[in-house]
A and B are shown apart, each in its own frame.
Chain A
Amino acid sequence: AQSVAQPEDQVNVAEGNPLTVKCTYSVSGNPYLFWYVQYPNRGLQFLLKYITGDNLVKGSYGFEAEFNKSQTSFHLKKPSALVSDSALYFCAVRDWDGGYQKVTFGTGTKLQVIP
């Protein structure tokens, strides 16, 4: 069975500093990994995904994520945080489960960027 872990409930970072939101995964086959962001009172928005190829994936709003197969991690990063980046971030993995595609979300990490 596939699983995703986001070990930090909340991450605080000062504006202008680099940020990292952590995610580790477990799948039986190839990992198809996603990051989503949720602003208050909104649905989730897709940020980026890893399918295959380069381990560094670039996405929307200046975010990127680094895939590390040996550590089974897919951490979300941004070189310089903005106050407007404050939101909930969800990591997800999509895989086959008994003949059906299944998406599993992590528990979410609240990012707080401090002015």
Chain B
Amino acid sequence: EADIYQTPRYLVIGTGKKITLECSQTMGHDKMYWYQQDPGMELHLIHYSYGVNSTEKGDLSSESTVSRIRTEHFPLTLESARPSHTSQYLCASSGDSVYAEAFFGQGTRLTVV
């Protein structure tokens, strides 16, 4: 098992609430990523970071925000959750090399009611 953890695994929350999805890794990786996964399975990159204080938006526009204050921690925040945010969110990290594979957390399945 990879040393990357996501909490919570499952979350049901009401519309308008603020939520933070946690992601931590103990591998010392500089590169971290957040993906949103459709029910139909496709992965969409929504945020990535190449190190502390570095964050970029991904290919899919998202209303969420991220921060990278510590190497091991890459939380994702939704200021005001909406039903359209209902999805599976996957966090990943990788080594610096272009050859390096990614390690994924187990995911957070978010349902906004």
Bound-state Cα–Cα, A36 to B85, Å: 25
Give A44's nearest chain B residue, CB to CB: B104
Interface size, A (range)? 20 to 34
Of residues 31 to 89 in B, which have CB atoms within 8 Å of A's CB atoms? 31, 33, 41-43, 45, 50
A61: B residues at CB distance < 8 A:
none
Q: Does A44 contact B102, Cβ atoms closer than 8 Å?
A: yes
Q: Does B107 contact A49, Cβ atoms closer than 8 Å?
A: no
A32: B residues at CB distance < 8 A:
98-99
A82 contacts partner chain B, Cβ-Cβ < 8 Å: no
Give B4's nearest chain A residue, CB to CB: A43
B interface footprint on A54-98 (CB within 8 Å = 1, 0 otherwise): 000000000000000000000000000000000010101011100
Q: Does A101 contact B31, Cβ atoms closer than 8 Å?
A: yes
Q: Does A34 contact B107, Cβ atoms closer than 8 Å?
A: no
Q: How many inter-chain residue pairs (CB < 8 Å) link A and B?
A: 55
Main secondary structure of the interface of A (DSSP, over half): strand
The one of B2, B90, B98 that contacts A101, using a Cβ cutoff of 8 Å:
B98
Q: Does A107 contact B106, Cβ atoms closer than 8 Å?
A: no
Q: Does A41 contact B102, Cβ atoms closer than 8 Å?
A: no
Q: Does A42 contact B98, Cβ atoms closer than 8 Å?
A: no
Q: Does A46 contact B103, Cβ atoms closer than 8 Å?
A: yes
Apart from A43-B92, A49-B101, 15 more pairs, CB < 8 Å: A32-B98, A38-B41, A41-B109, A42-B107, A43-B91, A43-B104, A44-B92, A44-B102, A45-B104, A49-B99, A92-B102, A100-B50, A107-B41, A107-B42, A108-B42
B interface residues, Cβ below 8 angstroms from A: 2, 4, 6, 31, 33, 41-43, 45, 50, 90-92, 94, 98-99, 101-107, 109
A interface residues, Cβ below 8 angstroms from B: 32, 34, 36, 38, 41-46, 49, 51, 88, 90, 92, 94-96, 100-101, 103, 105, 107-108, 110
